């Protein structure tokens, strides 16, 4: 590994021609993937991402370069190429500080568990899904493991390392009957090692995946209409993440491409809506001890009782917005320059019970799980597929529906939330943006939106 004294010299060289900020990000990431299809191991993959990224900033102008050769001469070559973009006087470099401790309590790291034990777990889950019902024609399970070691050094004295360990279990069922096929998916993940199997009830989840796929075989096509929608906890939070979370990132706010620009202290939602982004939830899929700019992560209040309280801000956009960073600078790897990103974003729990929310809804849609969708951060416009949904009729869950699509604007949805449950849960996913794909949590308790446009291909009610 490159020495601290060498990093100090590289940062000095980086500022020699006029840049006023320099940063070096070094990464060593090991990954493993095992896939099982209907009880048989079909693939085992190992990977290693290793390299260094260099970022120079002058005012608001930024240049970025990288190399997979983490030696002093190689990084110096990147520095020399980048600094040619600026023409000015040498900026003084602050002496690199001392690394601060980070949280690392992984019990069973990926390299300490034999492949046979991992494969056995996946095969058992795959067989369980497959044997749930004769109509299950394919059962896929997959174990994804990543250990990322990073080191950040910059010209303002930051010298910080971190180790991030992520483990995710993918479970998918494909059901077939009368010429049609339906599938269901779950992908729980945590900031932990193989001990995830001791924390998550994978047997229960496998049964739920199989049951969902079978249920969808007999579901009716959703009839398009405007109606109340009850969004369940965990993955219901994907709407807030996409339609509200991204527009609260400085990546959008600093450019004026967000419906929340200039609205700090103003009402942006219902009185019962409070929302956070937390970078340090213990064991959470989206957690880090320090972000990819070397700043400690923190719990950021975004909305409080419907009032906009804050944004998610990285170093460069903090300059433009003249606001403090929030420990939200993230990137997929050394090949990306960091920018403001979410970690674990969620609507805080309220006082309503799930059963009471359903009972209080005379007619509507219960969106138990959401799938993919699209959003325009500049406006908050979105559309999201409902992976598993049920009609609510006379305060009861009745017939399953498929093909439902939720359509709307994030800012409008926030005002129309009239019920917030007390059952907060998180769902895990990979979020893509300017700085690549990163692990994030989406979360919320069960909420009710009083009115939402629901698309579908059904004919009559």
Choose one of 194, 218, 242: the last residue of a domain. Answer: 218
DSSP 3-15: -HHHHHHHHHHHT
Residue 240 has φ and ψ, to the nearest 5°, of -65, -40
CATH of the domain at 162: 3.30.2290.10
Rounded percentage of the chain residues whose pLDDT exceeds 70: 100
Residue 461 lies in a domain: no
For residues 260, 264, 267 and 271, what is the CA-based torsion angle, rounded to 10 degrees? 110
- What is d(CA 419, CA 83) in angstroms, rounded to the nearest whole number? 54
Residue 460 lies in a domain: no
* Cα atoms in the Cβ-side hemisphere of radius 13 Å centred on 428: 20
Q: What is the mean pLDDT of residues 349-358?
A: 98
Contact status, residue 418 vs residue 443, Cβ threshold 8 Å: no
Q: Which residues of 225-254 are buried (b: 16+ CB within 10 A; e: fewer)?
A: eebbbbbbbbbbbbbbbbbbbbbbbbbbbb
Q: What is the mean pLDDT of residues 207-224?
A: 96
Q: What is the mean pLDDT of residues 426-432?
A: 94
Give residue 376's pLDDT: 87
Six token digits for residue 260: 């929340």
Domain identity same for 295 and 187: no
Give residue 392's pLDDT: 98
3-state DSSP assignment of residue 197: helix
Q: What is the mean pLDDT of residues 165-176?
A: 98
What letter does residue 99 receive in the DSSP assignment?
Answer: P
Q: What is the mean pLDDT of residues 86-110?
A: 94
Domain identity same for 387 and 343: yes
- What is d(CA 15, CA 58) in angstroms, rounded to the nearest whole number? 9
Domain identity same for 214 and 225: no
Domain identity same for 284 and 184: no
Contact status, residue 294 vs residue 152, Cβ threshold 8 Å: yes
Q: What is the mean pLDDT of residues 266-273?
A: 97
Domain identity same for 206 and 238: no
Give residue 461's pLDDT: 46
Q: What is the mean pLDDT of residues 86-114?
A: 94
Choose one of 183, 218, 253: the last residue of a domain. Answer: 218
Give residue 235's pLDDT: 82
Q: E strand or H helix at 151, and its extent?
A: strand 136-154
The pLDDT tens digits for 298-336 are 999 999 999 999 999 999 999 999 999 999 999 999 999
pLDDT at 272 over 90: yes
Domain identity same for 359 and 407: yes
| Reported pTM | 0.95
pLDDT band of residue 380 (cuts 50, 70, 90) is confident
Q: What is the mean pLDDT of residues 54-59?
A: 97
The rounded mean pLDDT for the chain is: 96
Per the structure, the complete domain to which residue 164 belongs is given by 4-218
């Amino acid at each position: 590994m490159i020495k601290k004294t060498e990093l100090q010299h590289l940062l000095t060289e980086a500022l020699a021609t006029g840049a006023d900020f320099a940063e070096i990000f070094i990464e060593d990431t090991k990954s493993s993937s095992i896939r099982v299809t209907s009880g048989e191991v079909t693939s085992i993959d190992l990977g290693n991402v290793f390299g260094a990224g260099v970022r120079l900033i002058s005012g608001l102008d930024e240049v970025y370069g990288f190399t997979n050769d983490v030696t002093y001469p190689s990084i110096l070559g990147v520095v020399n190429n980048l600094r040619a973009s600026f023409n000015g006087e040498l900026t003084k470099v602050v002496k690199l500080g001392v690394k601060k401790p980070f949280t690392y309590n992984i019990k069973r790291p990926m390299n300490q568990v034999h492949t046979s034990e991992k494969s056995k777990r996946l095969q058992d889950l795959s067989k369980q899904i497959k044997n749930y019902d004769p109509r299950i024609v394919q059962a896929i399970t997959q174990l994804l493991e990543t250990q990322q070691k990073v080191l950040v050094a910059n010209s303002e004295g930051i010298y910080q390392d971190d180790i991030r360990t992520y483990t995710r279990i993918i479970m998918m069922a494909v059901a077939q009957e009368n010429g049609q096929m339906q599938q269901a998916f779950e992908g729980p993940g945590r900031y932990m090692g193989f001990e995830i199997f001791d924390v998550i009830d994978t047997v229960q989840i496998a049964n739920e995946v199989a049951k969902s796929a079978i249920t969808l075989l007999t579901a009716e096509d959703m009839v398009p209409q405007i109606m109340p929608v009850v969004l369940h906890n965990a993955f219901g939070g994907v709407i807030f993440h996409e339609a509200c979370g991204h527009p609260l990132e400085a990546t959008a706010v600093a450019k004026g491409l967000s419906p929340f620009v200039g609205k700090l202290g103003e009402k942006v939602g219902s009185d019962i809506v409070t929302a956070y982004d937390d970078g340090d939830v213990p064991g959470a899929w989206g957690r880090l001890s320090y972000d990819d700019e070397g700043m400690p992560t923190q719990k950021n209040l975004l909305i409080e009782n419907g009032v906009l309280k804050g944004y998610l801000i990285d170093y460069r956009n903090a300059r433009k917005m003249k606001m403090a960073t929030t420990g939200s600078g993230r990137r997929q790897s050394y090949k990306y320059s960091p920018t403001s990103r979410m970690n674990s974003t969620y609507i805080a729990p309220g006082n309503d019970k799930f059963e009471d929310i359903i009972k209080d809804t005379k007619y509507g849609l219960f969106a138990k799980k959401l799938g993919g969708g699209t959003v325009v951060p500049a406006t908050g416009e979105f559309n999201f597929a409902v992976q598993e949904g049920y009609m609510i009729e006379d305060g009861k869950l009745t017939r399953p529906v498929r093909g439902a699509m939720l359509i709307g604007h994030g800012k409008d949805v926030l005002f129309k939330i009239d019920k917030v449950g007390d059952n907060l849960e998180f769902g895990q996913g990979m979020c893509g943006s300017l700085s690549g794909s990163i692990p994030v949590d989406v979360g919320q308790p069960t909420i009710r939106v009083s009115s939402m446009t629901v698309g579908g291909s059904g004919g009559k009610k």
